[in-house]
């Protein structure tokens, strides 16, 4: 997984710990909001990385298919 995801998750965990340790309600609420935001960023980062891997695989498959089609049209399917 990407560094961005790991960083965001670390920040979310820190915010969760800070919220748990907070004695003032407004401070706890602020940390809980921060945790939610960091987790959202982590999820977004994970999704972007998944989409990037998927697109790369689709490109690879498309190129292979185009190369095979070109060889078949030239009459050289075994090359």
With cut-offs at 50, 70 and 90, classify the pLDDT of residue 78: low
pLDDT of residue 74: 86
Alpha helices in the chain (DSSP H): 3-21, 25-74
Query: Which residue shows structure tokens 């960023």?
Result: 41
Q: What is the pLDDT of residue 25?
A: 98
Average pLDDT over residues 57-70: 96
Both structure tokens of 29? 């609420």
**What pLDDT shows up at residue 1?**
60
39: closest CA among 2, 3, 1, 10? 10
The pLDDT of 68-72, averaged and rounded, is 91
Q: Which pTM does this prediction carry?
A: 0.75
């Amino acid at each position: 997984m990407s560094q961005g995801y790991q960083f965001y998750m670390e920040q979310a965990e820190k915010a969760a710990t800070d919220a748990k340790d907070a004695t003032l309600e407004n401070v706890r609420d602020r940390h809980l909001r921060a945790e939610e935001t960091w987790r959202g960023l982590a999820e977004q980062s994970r999704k972007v990385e998944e989409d990037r891997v998927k697109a790369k695989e689709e490109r690879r498959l498309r190129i292979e298919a185009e190369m095979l089609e070109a060889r078949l049209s030239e009459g050289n399917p075994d090359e």
